[in-house]
Amino acid sequence: MKFEIADIPLFKQKALQWAANHEVCSCLDSNSHSNSYSKFDALIAAGVKSELIASAGDAFNKLNQFRQQHTGWLTGFLGYDLKNETEQLYSVHTDNLHFPDLYFFEPEHLIIIKGEVIEILSDNAEQIFAEVNKQKLYSIQKPNDLNLQARFSREEYVQTFDRIKQHINRGDIYVTNFCQEFYVENAVIHPVSIFSELNRISRTPFASFFQYYGQYILCASPERFLAKRGDKLISQPIKGTARRGATKVEDNAIKHNLRNNLKEQQENVMVVDMVRNDLTKSAVSGSVKTEELFGIYSFKQVHQMISTVTCKLQYGLSAVEAIRNTFPMGSMTGAPKVSAMQLIEQYERTRRGVYSGAVGYFSPDDDFDFNVVIRTILYSAANEYLSFEVGSAITFDAKAEDEYDECLLKAKAILKVLQVKL
């Protein structure tokens, strides 16, 4: 059932608050970023008709079966540690959040927002519309006294960076994405408030709020991992980050410098090559192509260098198989991919879990769209544990101090929302 409404931002906020009253819900928000591949402006799913919880081992097979049984809308997340299923790898680091490796659910209620039209898919569509409109928005509840801690001191980061560079100098790898965790113990927050504020100050095209039985993904991602539109697969990896300028002239100069920065271009080309290689596993022969190289896109906090790689999907290959063939994404691993992931496990100090995994959906026409879980707060209410990770690419030409500063730049919006400093 479809409804028209004038104040879409207000309705969207009320719908998120309404959805969060359920034990499981998700909100995928494009924040009105124009994108030719987007199906909607926002999708809000609440309540569970059926669900799949799976661990690395045979999780993708289980998802394939679940998808065959439930051919309508599904939404869910894929954890980074599914790498242990796609390759002969393992994870040994501490996990303080305890998300499953894979979770998807078929929602009882689905709200799709596109333009000024609201479509509600539910047995009680009119009732849901009324319930959402009756919501009285509570005021933003700010976090109190969060004691932010780091897994690496700046000095430890530089020392580890130098050890990784030795692997690059020896030719073990060409590039890897090295990430570090910042965390808060005994954290009590209001997840809807935190996400709403994060989404206000960092309006990105792949934002997501996901509530899974007291565990939360509060995501302001600018990056698309993989989408399917008909028989076309689309990946849009990001490599290359620069701050926003204080004036228009300065901002344009920073964009120009990013576009022409050889180091950033080299990183971007490396990840594009990885994506092209991953897509060949699912592609009709000769169909993989780079539609855009070194595109510069501006967001409220940063400028990003984004490329677009596409291919035609092999006939008979399922949507889930296409995802498995490219997971985890090259922008968060490195090259060669397996060697880079081995070194990530060796030098990082936290199990990534949902971080650098993906959140997204399958639609009834068997299309899908998944983001890269970056610029994200992960929170376990039961454990009162809050975590976010940031990383950057280490290449032959990378400098430790510059990469550490890039990590802090990527964390800028999260630090502001949490009202903490490093």
pLDDT digits (tens, 9 = 90+) for 353-390: 999 999 999 999 999 999 999 999 999 999 999 999 99
What's the CA angle centered on 48, arms 43 and 53, to 5 degrees? 100
pLDDT confidence of residue 142: 77
Q: Is the pLDDT of residue 34 over 80?
A: no
Of 333, 356, 354, 367, nearest to 227 by C-alpha is 367
Using the predicted structure, report yes or no on whether residue 129 has a pLDDT greater than 80: yes
Confidence of residue 35 (pLDDT cuts 50, 70, 90): confident
Backbone φ and ψ for 167, nearest 5 degrees, come out as -65, -40
Hey, where are the domains in the chain? 2-132+150-418
Over pLDDT 90: what percentage of the chain?
94
Residue 182: count of CB within 10 angstroms of its CB? 24
Residue 124's CB is within 10 A of a number of other CB atoms, namely 13
Q: How far apart are CA 120 and CA 125, in angstroms?
A: 6
In the predicted model, is pLDDT for residue 303 greater than 80?
Answer: yes
Confidence (pTM): 0.97
Q: Say which residue the tokens 């570090």 belong to.
A: 180
Asked if the model's pLDDT at residue 421 lies above 90, the reply is: no
Q: Domain spanning 2-132+150-418 has what CATH number? A: 3.60.120.10
Return the CA Rg of the chain: 20
